[in-house]
A and B are shown apart, each in its own frame.
Chain A
C-alpha cells in the first residue's frame, strides 16, 4: 500500500506543488475579492472612500500658475506657462492653443524607469482640459501645461487632471469651470473608488470620469475592461459625486490663496 503510493508519486516535484498551491491561493483571493461584499481594503478604506488628499497652489515660482497634489502615495506637480507666443512653426490661429505634457520622474515608479514623457496621458489630459478652457480669450497665443509625476501610487491620471485644473485657475486663465477627475475600479460585483497601484493591478475594469461639477458636464470618460450597463451607470454617478466633493476642496484652496495674496 505505502509502496504503491510511493510508486504513483514517482513524478512528484516540489516546484510543481508549490506552483499549484500558489495558483490555488491566487484563485481563492480573486474569488474572495469578487464575491464578498465587505472586505477591508489594504489601507483600511471602505469601498467608497478616497485617499487622503493634499493640494496646494503656487509651488513653482517661475510658472504663471502651478499646483501640487498628493493623494495617498501619488504625488503630482503641474506648472502652467502662458499665454505666451506660439512657436513660429505653428500656423496662425484665431483661438488659443493648449499644449499638455505629462512626464514621470525616474524615481516615480517602484522599478526605476527612464523618466519618459507619457504620450497617452498627455493626450488624455489635453482632451480633459480643452473643454473647460476659454481658448477664444487668448487668440494667437499658447498655454503650456506641464505635469510631472513625482511618485506613482495609483490613479495617476485623475490626480493629474484635477491638479492641472487647479494650476490653470491659479494662472488666471479663463476657464468655464474647474475640472475634477476620479476613477473607480471593478472587482466582480464590487466597485471601489480611487484605487491604489495594487488594486489597479487586480481590477477587472476601470472607469475614469473628468467632470465640471458646476456645469454638470463630463469632459472625458474612459472605460477599460468588462462592464455591464447598470454597473457603468452606478460607477459614473459615483465618480460624479466624488468629483463634486473634490471640487469643493479645490475651491476652498483657491479662495485661501486669493485671500492670502492681499
Chain B
C-alpha cells in the first residue's frame, strides 16, 4: 500500500488493526508499529504529517485523529485543575477535575506535598496558609506517584490557587502571590496564589 499525501482535515476513517502504511512511515498518535507495518490503534481519521524541515529522519508521520478519544487521563507534565479536598501538615489532597482543558469523566486523586508547594523557602512552607479545602488549584503533574495519588506541584508562578472562597462564604480576590482578599468582608487570607494571565 503506497502512502499518499492526504488532506489534514479529513482522511479516510480507519479502525483498530487496519494497515496505515509500511516502514516508510513513522507511527504517531493513535498508531503503532507492527514489524514493518504501521497499524491504527483507535478509530478515527488517518492523517499524514510531513517531517519537520531540517530533521535527519525524512519520513512522514502517520497518525489517527480519534473522533471520540477516551476520557482524559493525567500524564506526567500535564497541567491539571484540581479541587483541594483535605489539607494536612505535610501535604494536601486534591481531586483532579480537568487535564489540559479537558474534563475527566471520573475523578483522579492528586497530592501536593510540602516540598512541591513553591520553589522558594521550601522548608518554611505552612500547608494551612497555602491551601484550604474547596480551593480550586492549577497544578502540574510531577509523576504518577504511588498507588493512591498522582504527585502534583504548584512550584511555579502560574500554578496555585485560582479560585477560592473565604470563611464567610465570599469570593476571594487575589491581591498578591501569597494573599487573597474577601469581597464581602475585606478579610485577607493566606494562599499560594497562581499568577493571573
Contacts and interface: CB of A to CB of B under 8 A. Distances in A.
B195 interface: no
**Size class of the contact patch on chain B:** 20 to 34
B1 to A, nearest CB: 13
B160 interface: no
Given A172-B43, A174-B30, A215-B34, A258 B13 contact: yes
A175 B70 contact: no
Interface string B105-138: 1111100000000000000000000000000000
B interface majority secondary structure: loop
Contact of A258 (B17, B19, B67): B67
A138 B71 CA distance: 11
Interface stretch (B50-58, B142-150, B162-170, B184-192): B142-150
A82 interface: yes
B196 interface: no
A88 interface: yes
A84 B17 CA distance: 24
A86 B150 CA distance: 12
B15 interface: yes
Given A140-B144, A174-B30, A258-B44, A83 B70 contact: yes
**Size class of the contact patch on chain A:** 35 or more
Q: Which of B32, B34, B42, B66 has the most CB of A within 10 A?
A: B42
Contacts of A257: 43
Nearest to A62: B105
B22 interface: no
Contact of B13 (A176, A177, A255): A255
**5 closest Cβ pairs, A-B complex:** A177-B17, A214-B17, A172-B70, A92-B147, A174-B41
